[in-house]
Amino acid sequence: MNPAALLQAACFAARKHRDQRRKDAAESPYINHPLAGVNVLASEAGVIDQSLLIAALLHDTVEDTETTFDELQEAYGEVVRRIVEEVTDDKGLPKETRKELQIRHAANASNLAKQLKIADKVCNIRDIASNPPSRWSEDRKVQYLEWASQVVTGCRGVNLKLDQVYGEAMTMAREKLGVEKP
Task: Give the active site residues.
Answer: 63-64
Are the C-beta atoms of 109 and 155 separated by less than 8 Å?
yes
Taken as a whole, the chain contains a residue count of 182
Q: Residues with Cβ < 8 Å from 59, sequence gap 6 or more?
A: 34, 37, 83, 84, 87, 88, 116, 120
18 residue type, one letter: R
Quick: pLDDT tens for 1-55. Answer: 899 999 999 999 999 999 999 988 889 999 999 999 999 999 999 999 999 999 9
pLDDT tens digit string along 82-110? 999 999 999 999 999 999 999 999 999 99
Name the CATH superfamily, with its identifier, for domain 3-177: Hypothetical protein af1432 (1.10.3210.10)
Q: Whole-model pTM?
A: 0.95
pLDDT at 142: 95
DSSP structural state of residue 59? T
The yes-or-no verdict on residue 182 having pLDDT over 90 is: no
What are the boundaries of each domain within the chain? 3-177
171 pLDDT more than 90: yes
pLDDT of residue 50: 98
- Count the alpha carbons within 13 Å of 129 in the hemisphere toward its beta carbon: 19
pLDDT bin (cut points 50, 70, 90) of residue 179 is confident
110 and 82 in contact (C-beta within 8 Å)? Answer: yes
pLDDT of residue 169: 98
For residue 58, the one-letter residue type is L
3-state secondary structure (DSSP) of residue 127? helix
Nearest-5° angle of CA 179, CA 182, CA 93? 85
